[in-house]
Structure 1
Amino acid sequence: MAISLKLNGQTHDVEAEPGTPLLWVIRDELKLTGTKFGCGVASCGACTVHLNGEPVRSCQTYVEDVDGAEITTVEGLNSSVSNAVQAAWTELDVVQCGYCQSGQIMSAIGLLSENSKPTVAEIDEYMSGNACRCATYQRIRAAIQRAAEIMET
């Protein structure tokens, strides 16, 4: 079936079978590989993208459900919040292996877009759906706090 996706500000017409996860269209059809496959059951957060500005797990979001929606991947980030998050990630050297980080960043942007001054408990709760095999959770939390500070200036 034909689907029209607005991805990172550009419209793409793709052919996909009903029930195809958005993740595979992004990676295999559109060749954007920043969004990662982690678990396939929406438990790890590696595949997080923004759908109409909200973080969603693309491994469990079906392509027929996003026809005409605005989708942003890590490659398409370009806002004051995303710039603050990316700056904080770099400043605090958050990344270890890096595999989960695009999903972590997409979720962190979602959090800070909703709540520009989250508490530690709010950060931990919001980010609890994102797994990090390297256990960089303290650095991720610190980077979210630093991004909030950057956003204040």
Structure 2
Amino acid sequence: MARVEALCAQKGLRLTALRRRVMRVLAESHSPLGAYDIVERLAAGGEQSPPMSVYRVLDFLVAEGLAHRIESRNAYLACAHPHGDEDVVVFLICNQCGLTQEVSSHAVGRDLAWAARAVGFTPRQRVLEIAGQCARCHAHGASENDASADKAER
């Protein structure tokens, strides 16, 4: 939240109470949240916010680089860190538990920018979503597979 507050102050943006609460909900989640998930979490905290207001806040947060929209999930995630103009933001999304990790890569961004320029393409967005399995689910699956193999051997 300190980065969000500093960025808003630096840009002269108003960080309203609802913007602050929506950002806090996103920051507390390690999985992308849909707008209605956010509305439900706000309601659980005692605040009734219309979905359209939450959507407007999400649009603001995405436009200002404070949150990302995960297209494949139609959901949102707090931005973990600032990105350079040439960086590509990569989301590693676990198919099993939904854990989403944000990483960025200047090298990938540089190579994609070069490839795009070579064909006269202007990217609108520099985001990649990669679905797979997180380390925890992989370890859990491996231990389940080991246990099944042990039972089969007996």
Length-normalised TM-score, structure 2: 0.29
